[in-house]
Amino acid sequence: MAEIGFYHLTRTSVEQALPALLGRTLESGRRAVLRCGDAQRVKAIDEALWRAADPVWLPHGSAAMGHGPLQPIWLTAGDDVPNGATYLFLVDGVNCPDAAAFERVFDLFDGGDPQDVEAARGRWTRAREAGHTLVYWRQEARGWARGGR
């Protein structure tokens, strides 16, 4: 079973929170796949990652760029994992029926949107019922604070 971390965004957007999380993923020697709600969101996150200042460079790609097996971070609106990623990032409330195929799953949701929060609670319940290890992270003024399980 995977460890699924629910990341409750309270002060930044997904585009602002992802670079640090993805940077740590690459530092740990892991590959990531980031699943978005649709192709427009893939394009928006692609552009945001290229503009990220810290870390300075996040090598990534998508179907539009190709070379999936070579990409340390793969952006997609589907279920494809061409880069052999062991870390999965979910945004836009994307569900993950194949979480067990990953070492870690990062579910990022907007804490300022009551519908996003309610949807995340539903995903938490389903993940707990499936037997995954769950961790809750709340964005603080500086960094993240781990909450109860």
Any idea where the domains of the chain sit in the sequence? 3-147
Rounded Cα distance, 49 and 59, in Å: 9
pLDDT at 149 over 60: no
- The predicted model scores a pTM of 0.96
Token pair 């993923």 in the structure block, residue: 25
Span 93-144, pLDDT tens digits: 999 989 999 999 999 999 999 999 999 999 999 999 999 999 999 999 888 9
Contact 112, 95 (CB under 8 A): no
Supply the CATH classification number for the domain 3-147: 3.40.50.10110
Contact 115, 99 (CB under 8 A): no
pLDDT at 17 over 90: yes
End-to-end CA distance of the chain: 16
| Per-residue pLDDT, 148 | 61
Better-scored residue on pLDDT, 56 or 113:
113
